[in-house]
Amino acid sequence: MDLSTLQQLLTRLSGARIVCVGDLMVDRFVYGEVTRVSPEAPIPVLARERELVMLGGAGNVARNVAALGGDVALVGLIGTDPESHEALRLIGDKTGIEGFLVPDADRPTTLKTRFVSGGQQLLRVDLEASKPATGEVEKRLVRTVREVAEGAGAILLSDYGKGVVTDAVIAAVRAVGVPVIVDSKARNFLRYGAVDVIKPNASELAHATGLPTGSNDEIEAALAQALSLCEAKAILVTRASKGITLAVRGEPVRHFPTSAREVFDASGAGDTALAALGLALAAGTPVEDAIAFAMLASGVAVGKAGTATVLPEELIEASLTAHMAPAEGKIVTPQRMTDEIARWRAKGLRVGFTNGCFDILHRGHVTYLNQARSWCDRLVVGLNSDRSVRALKGEGRPVNDLEGRAMVLAGLGAVDLVVPFDEDTPIKLIEAARPEVLIKGADYSEDQVVGGDLVKGWGGEVRLAQIVDGYSTTAAIARMTAKEPT
């Protein structure tokens, strides 16, 4: 999706009304560090550091609709337990979400607790009751759907099989007369009737049809089987790194490949895709653009920790980055740097930082940067602006402007991010990055390294990289001008 189309779509989405009906969950993430094995049993001991609580399931769909600028009415079930109060508090904290939750004393509020260390889930503990709503509870769900659906552009059914999406609720949703998009974990797609779109992922499609879904040919065969087994107008299957495939009844199957992205955490990426697709279709967007929008949004979501939401500005940034060369994508602002470092650190990666003018890149620079990268998992390079280079080196410098120097640095495999700065020292970048290791050349002593005391203060270290004799930018300039270096 090009930037102009994306910006126009985001404008149309602002204030669009969506109804989300489905299985609400509370997602709790407990983060910590594992450094030893329990003496009581062969299990890791997690030293708890922090905890995050957020809406999951249908709640995460609603969060994503609101984050993208829509207004959403969330219909679901909660228990009468402490977790129900947590769910109501989380909804109240989110602008753009109205909660219409029906209490059911006979079930707990669904709670999923994940224990995470080094970016990996160690264990998930579920508190739930997977049984259909019945009696007065089901009747209240149906009445609620009818009451809140006025003015909605689309209804999203988020069916995790926990009991909200009963036959009566499906009938009430279909009777509203607006597009209905279903995200289903069920094996039987027939129960949804003639909805507009059913959106399984590849493994859910395989589960529903009993057919393999690896290749394009296998996906097409499975979609043909799925359409023969249900009344849906279309089935859209999300295929992770392989993109999205759409089968509209009576039309040829279409494949929409996606750009490869680093996957940090796939939790909730399907919810993001459902929210983006529903909002786009509700705004009257052509299906091709709606799918491109959903792919862009879910691609951003998988680069985040937990059941994350996606903001419009992140989509704009992702669209810009997608049209850049790989090297260009490494040149970032200080804010982008801190965002990237937060993602790296959540994975347990060690961050290094160095800085310099890097005017005429030579063998000495490459050796230096390779050594710096060997001391960390990700290397950030602070790059002096043209003004600050002149302040340090005098008139006539730099030989190469900031853009050229940044592009050459970003093209090196040892460099993960390049962050230009205009100050005389990189101290602000160092404070923002909080690197585990600060690197400077061995022509400095440790007490001369700017920011060294700060880094040591938060438990990091200062490392001095070797200097290759006979290589310097000053000497190179002198040779080019047939002058001896001063």
Q: Estimate to the nearest angstrom the gap between the alpha carbon of 76 and the chain centroid.
A: 25
How far lies 217's CA from each of 78, 222, 334, in Å? 42, 9, 45
d(CA 53, CA 55): 7
**List 104, 271, 359, 416, catalytic entry:** 271
Show the DSSP H helices in 262-351 as ranges: 269-282, 287-301, 312-322, 334-346
Residue partners of 249: CB distance under 8 A and separation at least 6: 227, 232, 233, 234
How far lies 83's CA from each of 72, 124, 125, 128, in Å? 22, 17, 14, 11
Provide the token pair at 4: 């102009």
For residue 386, which amino acid is it? D
Element (DSSP H or E) covering residue 71: strand 71-78
DSSP helix/strand/coil, 455: helix
Q: Is residue 271 annotated as part of the catalytic site, yes or no?
A: yes
Handedness of CA 292, 294, 296, 302 (dihedral sign): negative
Provide the token pair at 128: 């739930």
Nearest alpha carbon to residue 280 among 55, 69, 57, 56: 69
Cis preceding-peptide flag for 39 (omega within 30 of 0): no
DSSP output for 228-251: HTS--SEEEEE-GGG-EEEEETTS
DSSP helix/strand/coil, 22: strand
Active-site annotation, residues: 271
